[in-house]
Amino acid sequence: MIQATPRRAAIIAGTGYAALFVLAIFANFFVREGLVVAGDAAATFENIAQSEFLFRAGIAAFLAIFLLDVVVAWALHVVFRTVDRMTSLLAAWFRIVYTVFLGVATVFLLAAAQLAGDSPLLDGFTAGQLATPVSLLMDAFNYTWLIGLAAFGVHLAILGAMILTSRIASRFLGYLLIAAGGAYTIDTFAQALLTNYADFADAFMIVVVVTAVTAEFTFLAWLLRSAGKASPMPPPSDGSKGTYGSTDREQILADSK
């Protein structure tokens, strides 16, 4: 049975987050965006076919993210259950939902790699015939991951709200996480609702990237530096449970030792 104190779980979550950043930069920005040519199925197919090993390395990185995110979800639950056990569990479930969508999305990448590879089963097909299916599979990856990011946004917003209500960390971090979570979720809904989303895509991308990078790097630093340590905040004056410094927290800390 896995047991961890909130501090140890925070270090696990922070280390996992750092690894997720490295893997995501490689898989998404270096590999996927480096090989996919928007609006040009033939060029995308040719890039993937000529760089098959690099493309498969990107798939492996996405698979590592898929597995590592489960560990991070668990570790964050251990940290935040000292604030509110049930709300922390809800946040963990939203991250797991996101992770499942990422795993499903990665299946489309693996299928694209099969079509762009040298499988003898495809000897009767020309590159032109395979380019469109590969492009559609890459689009399917984007759409599936996009839906998952809406759940990820809710996950971040819940963590931010827990920080604000408990003061387990600075209120600034809580607001940052809520802003980043809102940006992820609003962007997903905007792509679903706006027929002219392409006209605003750059603006949405800037908002999502700036808020997400700022919030999640700040969150990473907090996890590694001070999360899970004893709180200086006194218990609530009304004796209520479920907030940081409450009887519920003390019991959880005792159980985790």
pLDDT digits over 25-46, tens only? 999 999 999 999 988 899 999 9
Position 216 in a domain: no
Q: What confidence score (pLDDT) does residue 189 get?
A: 96
Distance (Å, rounded) from C-alpha 189 to C-alpha 215? 21
Domain extent, residue 53, equals 6-155+232-256
**How many angstroms separate the Cα of 8 from the Cα of each of 19, 159, 187, 204?**
17, 18, 34, 36
Q: How many domains does the chain have?
A: 1
Q: Tell me, what's the pLDDT at 221? A: 94
Q: Tens digits of per-residue pLDDT, 158-184? A: 999 999 998 889 999 999 999 999 999
For position 38, what pLDDT does the model report? Answer: 85
Q: How confident is residue 130, by pLDDT bands cut at 50, 70 and 90?
A: confident
Q: Please answer whether residues 10 and 82 qualify as being in contact, where contact means their C-beta atoms are separated by less than 8 angstroms.
A: no
Tokens describing residue 32: 């996927």
With respect to residue 80, please indicate whether it lies within any of the assigned structural domains. yes
Average pLDDT over residues 69-87: 94
The DSSP annotation for 125-138 comes to: S-HHHHHHHHHHHH
Predicted confidence (pLDDT) per residue in 189-200, tens digit: 999 999 999 999
Q: How many CB atoms lie within 10 A of CB 55?
A: 24
* Encoded tokens for 65: 């993210």
Interatomic CA distance for residues 79 and 168, integer angstroms? 10
Any idea which residue has 């984007």 for tokens? 142
Task: Tell me what pLDDT residue 2 has.
Answer: 59
Does 121 have pLDDT greater than 80? no
Q: What percent of the chain has pLDDT over 70?
A: 84
Query: How many other CB atoms are found less than 10 A from the CB of residue 27?
Result: 22
Residue 116: per-residue pLDDT:
86
Look up residue 139 and give its two tokens: 């689009």
What is the model's pLDDT at position 230? 55
- Residue 149 within a domain: yes
Average pLDDT, the chain: 86
pLDDT tens digits for range 202-246:
999 999 999 999 999 999 999 999 876 654 344 444 444 444 444
pLDDT beyond 70 at 254: no
Which carries the bigger pLDDT value, residue 120 or residue 53? 53
